[in-house]
A and B are shown apart, each in its own frame.
Chain A
Amino acid sequence: MNAFAPGLPTPQVTSQEKALGRATYAGDLKIAGMLHAKLLRSPHAHARILNVDVSRAIALPGVRAVFTGDDVPQRAWGVKHKQQHVLAREVVRFVGEEIAAVVAIDEDTAEEALDLIRVEYEPLPALIDPSQALEPNAVKVHPGGNLADEIGIVRGDVDSAFAEADIVHEETYTTHSQYPGYMEPMATLATTDGSGKLTVWTATQSVFLARQRLAEALDRPVSTVRVVQPTVGGGFGGKIIEERSSVIAGFLAAATDRPVRLCLSRIDDMLSGAFSVPMKIRLKMGMTRDGRITAKDVSIRADCGAYAGLAPEVMLVTAMRSDNMQRLEHTRSHAQLVYTHTMPRGAFRGFGGTQMAFALNSHLTAMADLAGIDPIELHRQNAIRTGDLSIHGWKIGSCGLPECLNQIEGAIGWTEKRSRPKQRGVLRRGIGMAAAMHVSGNRTMGNWDGSTIVLKVNEDGRVVVLTSEADVGQGSNTMLSQICAHELGVPLSHVSVQTPDTDFTPYCLGSIASRVTINAGKAMIKAAREARETILAAAAEKLGCDAIDLTIEDGVVQSTSNANHFAKLPDICRYHIFRHGGEGIHIKATHDPDTVMMDGDHYGNIAPAYSFAAQAVEVEVDTETGQVRLIESWLSDDCGKAINPLAVHGQSNGAAVQAIGWTLCEELQFEEGRLMNGNLADYTMPTADSVPEMHSSIVESMDPNGPLGAKGASETAILPGAPAIANAVFDAIGVRITDLPITPEKILAAIAAQKEKRDA
């Protein structure tokens, strides 16, 4: 039996090279003649560029070229909204927007040259506050106005359902933007070859989406661009297609016809966005006395900053995804996405789910209190179940939510802790919980959500896997290796997953929407099984027996009926090559899940499976300093079959910590659109000693559509953290914080207000 078979904890196949410092990130790459780029950013939130004088910068020894908005293609790029250029042209729309680029022999020279560029701006009034965006006389961010997107979804008869409710509760929640905080700031090396072809090594979650965008932004045919993914130090949604530096690097290499390296410093990385989308969510829900949710009415105002990017898709998730977690019949959602003169916001782990999870779970705990029901019980009672069709047409093939709820309830000692007397001292403890769901895959592009694996078995029986699904640290290469090794009957170390490269690896969408395990995993099974059949057929031919009787184990082909019929895998692989005119075992397998695109009314089963999670936490609130400390955290993730439980725990705990950061520690401080704490000393992400031991458990609901029953893990796990903490804070001190982050100041103010009310 393979020690790293699917289901067994398996160290990441990439861990050795990382631990040895041998993994090669984009910033490590060097090419002879390589130049270095630095970017000049706008100090204004909104201004017209009157003149850019680069003469002194160009004159600096060592500077090779300086580019401005006048030099870049006129064609605008974007996701749906085509509104960005490689460098800002004529107008800047946020502090930090790139207006010029210097290419020099080293970074210091390029940096020095930035100081020599003279830009004349005409500062214009800026729209910073999203609540002003749709006012009739608001400053316009784009000529078409400030409404970037609008969504309306109505199901059932919401008004009648409210009329029938015994309890109606309404509240407004606000959420703030979070920096993805990956270890590796954006880095790119780009170069052209003698034929003019552009090759770009960049930190990306998707080489093909990156290529598509480079082709668009640089206004050149797709096939004249090659994108390669080196080792990537985390993405969390920030490295899909909204970051801009890889586009700038590609442009600079093409324009200078030289290799150009563009690595953002941490400050640069933080100035350029795109962080998560801040939202204001008004939520109204109706419930019967015994805890059945009857009606839900949501209205959302989201701020995408200066450019829309993926924010419309993010907002759609906020507007409807969580509805599918419960058995609802009447819901209404209205969401508006507005522009402001602030940095672009967009995709972030959870993809719009965290914002709504905060509102919904805060709300449900408040309503459970109103009804006198335990919140876990309320979740259990309303939870969608395996086999259900949800209100938006999602087919729930597996749902482990009830088991997740059971697990966290038992683990934290929920019943016992809830029944303890309310604390009166300076330090008060409280518990809270939340639950959430997420997609595993999402059919949004080209009516396709498939994945293709190319598998090559070498003449020594070892395997090379070609895929363009990106391992950005989450462990997909390990998952693919485990499945491949298991299906083929070879040791894990005999499988190697190659790096995504648009010229060599098959077309894939990459690491987005928790789609890789469920879709690429399926393709991997298909490819490995086909390879196995090919090998067994060749073996049967060579050994003169029936393929049906043969198996492969530990690299040996063995007959189950005749012990004398066996051969080593390399012998069979060589045999195959020679008997097929030099053709090795070269398999291509594709899997496209049986899903649909949403229809015009946002209805339809978009994902092959759905994941669920629940979390319970205990906090301690210091009532004199407002500090909230986590005491315990238990997270349960229904990810279907955990192909690599070690990785799932890592993802669950990492996600839970990222949620703690969003809720309690991280806060981007802006002054007039200018980021004031763009460094990791002042933008404080959670550290190892700031969190308690993180506990996670797994529910294996075994989805019929998943490879070996697996679904996506890791995005779901970030969703319940914030509301679980907010609910625990409420339990501890009796005040509910509805706007994130939960800062010491807000806690102190809430306690003061509570005291004032009591004393009045």
Chain B
Amino acid sequence: MRDFHYLEPRTVSEATAMLADHGEEACVFAGGTALILALRQRMMAPGVLVSLGQLEEMRAIRFDPKEGLLIGAMARHNDIARSKIVRQHYPVVAEMAGGLANPQVRNQATIGGNLCYADPSTDPPACLLALGAELTIKGQHGARRIPMDEFNVDYFTVAMEPGEILTQIRLPPPDQEVTTFYRRHLRTPAEHRPVANLALAVRNRGGAFEDVRLIVGAATPAPQLLDGVQDYLSGRSVTAEVAAEAADRAAEEMFPISDGRGDEGFRRQVVRALTRRLVAEAANLDWKETE
């Protein structure tokens, strides 16, 4: 690892100014769980690390009836998992954050670092996308907000410019009629990272699904909205057969990645299983029975 300067701004604008000053030499430092690995493997060699560690405002988690749930980008996974506010308004998010990685990572890594690094085998993106998240990004010349749909561009690539900081994740006020389900799958129980995950938001109107949002994550370069399956499920009352059909369609529609954690075929199979289970669960069906 090369030597670097470690800066600790006290405000977000000071941080963006520092980033602007040092240009390409500088890099944001949040929990460090991804960054330190990259530095040690010499994949990156920034001369200046701008730590967001002193920006208490960026750790806050608040709920505003109009705006919704506001999560500071520096909130750690465990802060989110344990937050009463999150558990009250978005239990699925608390569960997702409390179930990812391992205790060490959850205690150290931040949601902002997770999103900005955009490693495909992560949990929050698919879940947040299903919930219609919106992100606040600040640069030297001000702030902008973008919907989560536009954020993840590709592997390790997000819609942010150099010098910008992700400050906040906003989830709109929960719609009481919509239920969101999230499930991750590990290749083996010893894995930390998901080989695939799936988020499903539905409005269940007397057995029929409406406003379906189905997103596959971790198995694709960036979280992928499965429009075809959404259309198929919309307006349908879900039976075991429908769940199985949706599962086959999901496996078909996704653009899987293929790597050491699982090849394309395996990823499709896992997403098929996840889809069938989640759709069945959303329709109060028992997915464990077959034949």
Contact = CB atoms under 8 A, between A and B. Distances in A.
Interface of A: 108, 111, 424-427, 622-630, 661, 664-666, 669, 676-677, 681-682, 684-687, 689-691, 744-745, 748
Contacts of A676: 260
B269 interface: yes
Nearest to A624: B273
8 contacts: A425-B289, A426-B288, A625-B269, A627-B188, A685-B190, A690-B188, A690-B189, A744-B188
B190 A684 contact: yes
B249 interface: no
Interface in B1-50: 1-3, 42
Contacts of A111: 42
Interface in B182-208: 185-193
B287 interface: yes
A106 to B, nearest CB: 11
Given A627-B185, A669-B260, A745-B266, 17 more contacts: A108-B3, A426-B287, A426-B289, A625-B273, A627-B187, A627-B188, A661-B190, A664-B189, A665-B188, A665-B189, A677-B260, A684-B190, A684-B192, A690-B190, A744-B262, A744-B266, A745-B263
A689 B263 CA distance: 25
B190 A748 contact: no
A626 B262 CA distance: 12
B269 A748 contact: yes
Nearest to A676: B260
Main secondary structure of the interface of A (DSSP, over half): loop
B102 A687 contact: yes
Nearest to A682: B260
Interface in B42-93: 42
A40 to B, nearest CB: 15
A424 B288 CA distance: 9
A684 B102 CA distance: 13
B291 interface: yes
Contacts of A427: 288
Contacts of B185: 625, 627
Contacts of B193: 681
Interface string B255-291: 0000011110010011011001000000000011111
A62 B261 CA distance: 40
A107 to B, nearest CB: 9
Contacts of A622: 273
B290 A686 contact: no
A664 B190 contact: yes
Nearest to B37: A681
B155 to A, nearest CB: 16
A625 B270 contact: yes
Nearest to A684: B190
B240 to A, nearest CB: 12
Given A624-B269, A624-B273, A625-B269, A425 B190 contact: no
Nearest to B270: A625
A624 B187 contact: no
Contact of B272 (A624, A630, A684, A690): A624
A669 B188 CA distance: 15
B289 A681 contact: no
Which 5 A/B pairs are nearest by Cβ-Cβ distance?
A: A665-B190, A624-B273, A690-B189, A690-B190, A684-B190
B1 A108 contact: yes
Contact of A684 (B191, B263, B266): B191
Contacts of B288: 425-427
A686 B270 CA distance: 21
A742 to B, nearest CB: 10
Contacts of A665: 188-191
Nearest to B265: A745
B260 A425 contact: no
A426 B260 contact: no
Contacts of B190: 661, 664-666, 684-687, 690
Contacts of A748: 266, 269
B2 A108 contact: yes
Contacts of A744: 187-188, 262, 266
Pick the most buried of A625, A628, A676, A682: most chain B CB atoms within 10 A of its CB: A625
A630 B190 CA distance: 11
A105 to B, nearest CB: 14
Contacts of B266: 626, 744-745, 748
Contacts of A681: 192-193
A752 to B, nearest CB: 10
Contacts of A627: 185-189
